[in-house]
Structure 1
Amino acid sequence: MPDQFDESPLNEQSSAGPSWWYAGDSTARKEERASRRIRRISLTDRLLSHPGRLSILYFLTLIALVTLLLLLPFATRGWVFTNFPVAFFTAVSALSTCGIPVVNTAEYWSAFGQVVILLSIQFGGLGVMTFASMVALGVSRRLKVSQRMLTASELGTNKLSEIKSVLSVVLGTSIIAEALTFVLLLPDLFHLNHGNVGRTLWEALFYAVSAYNNTGFTPDATGLHINRWGVGLPILLSAFVGTLGFPVVLNLVQCARRRMSPKRWTLHTKLTLTTTGILVLASLAWFLLVEWSNSALFPADDPGMKLRRALSAAVMPRSAGFDISWVPEVTDETKVLMSALMFIGAGSSSTAGGIRVTTFAVIVLICCASFTGHRDVVVFRRRLPRRIQMTAVSVMTACFALVLVGSVALMFVTGCDFVDAVFETCSAFSLGGYSVGVANAGNPACLFILAAAMIVGRLGPLTIAYAISRPMAPEPIRYPQENIIVG
């Protein structure tokens, strides 16, 4: 009888004791539950330890969800099934805050479809890395070091301790800017809609969100009311503020609150504002000098009206993409200039895209230092670290290669000329939202190429590289240095 209940490991198979059987089953279940808990924790840790992958996963999940919603028949006014390429392209265009439309937003999409697009613009405008960091905060109640480092790069701050406060300011800044734009748009839109309160509120909300997030989607069939300052000016100012980036806006607000002079601005703020001002003034001068007699851009002879439209044309092409009716009618020289402006884009951590104005400024400063024989790259009496210089060169080279490959691919699938292909690719990559007609709903290959450019432009080459890269291996050996001939 005692042998039946021998629970030793040597008697596992022969023992008939219920005590051993129960204990073994209980232990197995505990081990299984523990292994499941470990797997769950490991999955969370893996996601949080790779914020680049978390950002890509978040963005791709939103694309799949929005595409599915836009495929539903009640997302269109005619209750028809939208074909997949159009729904996918519209979802990517909205989430990336690019705004290139292949169908008329007001006439094709129903109220439900337009709400989906509006929410997509809002979530996309918050920034992939910013929102992913908020998700990480909600899951783990804290940011890990790797997450904070990548978020610091995305938000343009150098102090890891400031990231949590910056993340809380991002949402507040967006809401305040959009609310102010909404209020300023109400009077003129109420007049334009002949007293229709519901239509006025909807258009004001859509324009406010779309303008600050620098997206070219519009809630009416005619597009931006550029001839009315009551509508055009708030949208113009909101889009301009959105291009500066959260770090610049935060620094300006802090300095204004403390009554600090512009000399106390951060180097990032000074460089962003200076470069942005130069680009806007150069663009304004170009449109006034080169396109002065273009009736598509300047339909009126009034100099004041021409100045207003030139100012809008100088600011909007860098990121916003409103009022695209005149774009195909400009000269090829102007298309090249607009392509360059879109490629440069807006400020770092802004709602717009491109290589960013600070990247362009660093490239110019590197060239100036090289041509003048200086070893250090200095701006505003501050020396730029070598790491920043290498990052700027890497981003510039990778993005230029992307635009070149995308342009050639568009030429293959559409037969368009090189200028139009470069313009369309730059618009997609930099989230500019302008189009010269290359993006066509009847050409799925073209839509997929431009959608890929938007995804890379929204995520950013650094985020993608960080997501797929392996930990840096130590370099125990440094090889001898030898010069080569360049240039």
Structure 2
Amino acid sequence: MSDDFDESSLNEEASKGLSWWYSSDDPNRSHEERTSRRIRRIGLTDRLLSHPGRLSILYFVVLIVLVTALLLLPFSTHDWVFTNFPVAFFTAVSALSTCGIPVVNTAEYWSTFGQVVILFSIQFGGLGVMTFASMVALGVSRRLKVSQRMLTASELGTTKLSEIKSVLTVVFGTFVIAEGLTFALLLPELFRVNHGQLGRTLWQALFYAVSAYNNTGFTPDATGLHINRWGVGLPILISAFVGTLGFPVVLNLVQCARKHQSPKRWTLHTKLTLVTTGLLVLASLAWFLLVEWGNVGLFPADDPGMKLRRALSAAVMPRSAGFDISWVPEVTNETKVFMSVLMFIGAGSSSTAGGIRVTTFAVIILICGASFTGHRDVTAFHRRIPRRIQMTSVSVCTACFALVMVGAVALMFVTGCAFVDAVFEACSAFSLGGYSVGVASAGNAASMFILAGEMIVGRLGPLTIAYAISRPMAPEPIRYPQENIIVG
């Protein structure tokens, strides 16, 4: 089989667009023609896919420099003052990484221009994450077998893995539809909240729609999320939840719904993501209702219906966007530890949220289950998970755990905060959860730089690690004798 997977015009009709998986070209063509086609095809697409990890890093570095420079300008603030560099840098990183931890009040400190810069940063940050996650998957797929290539193409919703344009169309379409629906659903209630001010309503609906789907905790007003108004809170909650699933899952669900296929036809990735996400949300909802029921900071009203709403928001948001963070410092230390675990796990792969990803967590649990029960294969839904995926999951989890611990200890050194608060803040920054207990402040530049570093690595780290581990294993020139060791 040839390494050239481009489709021949001669067998295109007979193969229904799939012959590019199996044949390279018409065997009767001359060697010179095939060589010239191969040379022409080494263009921008191949160069982009050759180093998607480096390209994603370059993309975010350029955006961080540009957004920081814009936020340093006087007309980015309400009072027309120069913002100090640590605050501008931290805000830029927080927006571009879709984390959303603020060190200054967004509505009161930043001018309209500054808020527009933040809004565009959130959008470009979210689009960049989804796009480069897809490019990494495409780049990795070039190292796979034909059967695995077909599975990857199905996951990404494109027929030709060499066509970045197809993937970008899917990503952009997902963003436009999700944010457009959220914007439309928010308009009626926000119009009532703003007492008929159309301009303010349109701006807040747009800001909330972009911020919610990108799982960023920035809000366009000083009050934050209107959790007590279900007409505002529910669309934001749903949009943030859908954003945590990742566009491969959403795309797979839409495709199966169009074809009227049962859940049995869902991909393994979709099944694992939905099941693990559902269990995490249910566990989180039960925790807040049982442990924090008497917390007036989280549940100020005695109405059971209102308590359920706030508990549902608290159950969904820690793994995605940190809207309405006023109650977070008032929870118990046990809840802070529980929320730190949720934030560390994070959301779905190829989503705008962070963490080690729910599928990574699921694979770790499945590995433990197989080990404890004496099974050689790690399986889920009657499918065997490849050893390379298992190694990637363990490596990503271990590296990210070390990163969070280093960040937490560094925060304790520079702020003198308690270990629980330091771990909470480090997990929130790494997982892009957007919650804060007030460890970082505008007056402590060191704490902002530490958390900004956590955000950058949390945004790009798992992606880069996964891509690096997916490289083909080099043949071992020498295989040494095997000898057991004692573990545990």
CA distance in 2, matches of 1:206, 1:124: 14
Q: Which runs of 5+ in 2 are unaligned?
A: 1-41
The Cα of 1:477 is off from its aligned counterpart by 1.2
CA distance in 1, matches of 2:159, 2:400: 27
Residue number in structure 1 paired with 2:160: 161
Spell out the pairing of 1:189-200 with structure 2 (5 A cutoff): 189-200=190-201
Q: Is contact 1:327-1:434 (8 Å) kept?
A: yes
What secondary structure sits across from 2:160 in the alignment?
A: helix
What secondary structure sits across from 1:460 in the alignment?
A: helix
CA distance in 1, matches of 2:320, 2:386: 29
Question: Cα gap change, 1:409/1:361 in structure 2, threshold over 3 Å: closer, same or farther?
Answer: same
The Cα of 1:44 is off from its aligned counterpart by 10
The Cα of 1:472 is off from its aligned counterpart by 6.1
Instruction: Tell me the alpha carbon deviations over residues 370-417 of structure 1, each in whole angstroms, 9 at most, x when there is no partner.
Output: 011111111111111111111000000000000000000000000000
Spell out the pairing of 1:231-310 with structure 2 (5 A cutoff): 231-310=232-311
Spell out the pairing of 1:82-121 with structure 2 (5 A cutoff): 82-121=83-122
RMSD: 2.7
Q: Is contact 2:158-2:167 (8 Å) kept?
A: no
Residue number in structure 1 paired with 2:483: 482
1:317 correspondence with 2:318: yes
CA distance in 2, matches of 1:106, 1:100: 14
What secondary structure sits across from 1:297 in the alignment?
A: coil
Question: Cα gap change, 1:273/1:132 in structure 2, threshold over 3 Å: closer, same or farther?
Answer: closer
TM-score normalised by the chain length of structure 2? 0.85
What secondary structure sits across from 1:127 in the alignment?
A: helix
CA distance in 1, matches of 2:329, 2:362: 29
Q: What code does the residue aligned with 1:376 have?
A: D
Residue number in structure 2 paired with 1:437: 438
Residue number in structure 1 paired with 2:176: 175
Q: Is contact 1:207-1:235 (8 Å) kept?
A: yes
CA distance in 2, matches of 1:275, 1:68: 40
Spell out the pairing of 1:64-143 with structure 2 (5 A cutoff): 64-128=65-129, 130=131
1:376 correspondence with 2:377: yes
Q: What stretches of structure 1 move > 4 A for 4+ residues in a row?
A: 41-48, 131-134, 143-160, 464-473
CA distance in 2, matches of 1:468, 1:393: 11
Residue number in structure 1 paired with 2:346: 345
Q: What code does the residue aligned with 2:230 have?
A: W
CA distance in 1, matches of 2:167, 2:44: 27
Residue number in structure 2 paired with 1:38: none
Residue number in structure 2 paired with 1:398: 399
1:209 correspondence with 2:210: yes
Question: Cα gap change, 1:299/1:149 in structure 2, threshold over 3 Å: closer, same or farther?
Answer: farther
CA distance in 1, matches of 2:263, 2:152: 24
Question: Cα gap change, 1:128/1:405 in structure 2, threshold over 3 Å: closer, same or farther?
Answer: same
What secondary structure sits across from 2:401 in the alignment?
A: helix
Instruction: Tell me the alpha carbon deviations over residues 212-257 of structure 1, each in whole angstroms, 9 at most, x when there is no partner.
Output: 0000000000100000010000000000000000110000000000
Residue number in structure 1 paired with 2:24: none
CA distance in 2, matches of 1:263, 1:104: 47
What secondary structure sits across from 2:414 in the alignment?
A: helix
Question: Cα gap change, 1:196/1:404 in structure 2, threshold over 3 Å: closer, same or farther?
Answer: same
Instruction: Tell me the alpha carbon deviations over residues 157-187 of structure 1, each in whole angstroms, 9 at most, x when there is no partner.
Output: 5988357434321110111000000000001
Q: What code does the residue aligned with 1:168 have?
A: T
Question: Cα gap change, 1:303/1:270 in structure 2, threshold over 3 Å: closer, same or farther?
Answer: same
CA distance in 2, matches of 1:274, 1:309: 23
Question: Cα gap change, 1:406/1:305 in structure 2, threshold over 3 Å: closer, same or farther?
Answer: same
CA distance in 1, matches of 2:220, 2:428: 21
CA distance in 2, matches of 1:203, 1:257: 33
Q: What code does the residue aligned with 2:99 have?
A: C
Q: Is contact 1:105-1:221 (8 Å) kept?
A: yes
Residue number in structure 2 paired with 1:61: 62
Q: What code does the residue aligned with 2:329 have?
A: P
Q: Which has more radius of gyration? A: 1
Question: Cα gap change, 1:208/1:158 in structure 2, threshold over 3 Å: closer, same or farther?
Answer: closer
Question: How many percent identity over aligned positions?
Answer: 83
Question: Cα gap change, 1:468/1:113 in structure 2, threshold over 3 Å: closer, same or farther?
Answer: farther
Residue number in structure 2 paired with 1:37: none
The Cα of 1:129 is off from its aligned counterpart by 6.1
Residue number in structure 2 paired with 1:458: 459
Question: Cα gap change, 1:394/1:155 in structure 2, threshold over 3 Å: closer, same or farther?
Answer: farther
How many residue pairs are counted as aligned between the two chains? 440
CA distance in 1, matches of 2:473, 2:378: 27
Q: What code does the residue aligned with 1:161 have?
A: K
Question: Cα gap change, 1:42/1:127 in structure 2, threshold over 3 Å: closer, same or farther?
Answer: closer
Residue number in structure 2 paired with 1:3: none
Residue number in structure 2 paired with 1:218: 219
Deviates more, 1:89-98 or 1:48-57: 48-57
Instruction: Tell me the alpha carbon deviations over residues 246-276 of structure 1, each in whole angstroms, 9 at most, x when there is no partner.
Output: 1100000000000000111001001100000
What secondary structure sits across from 2:222 in the alignment?
A: coil
CA distance in 2, matches of 1:132, 1:338: 26
CA distance in 2, matches of 1:103, 1:148: 45
Spell out the pairing of 1:383-422 with structure 2 (5 A cutoff): 383-422=384-423
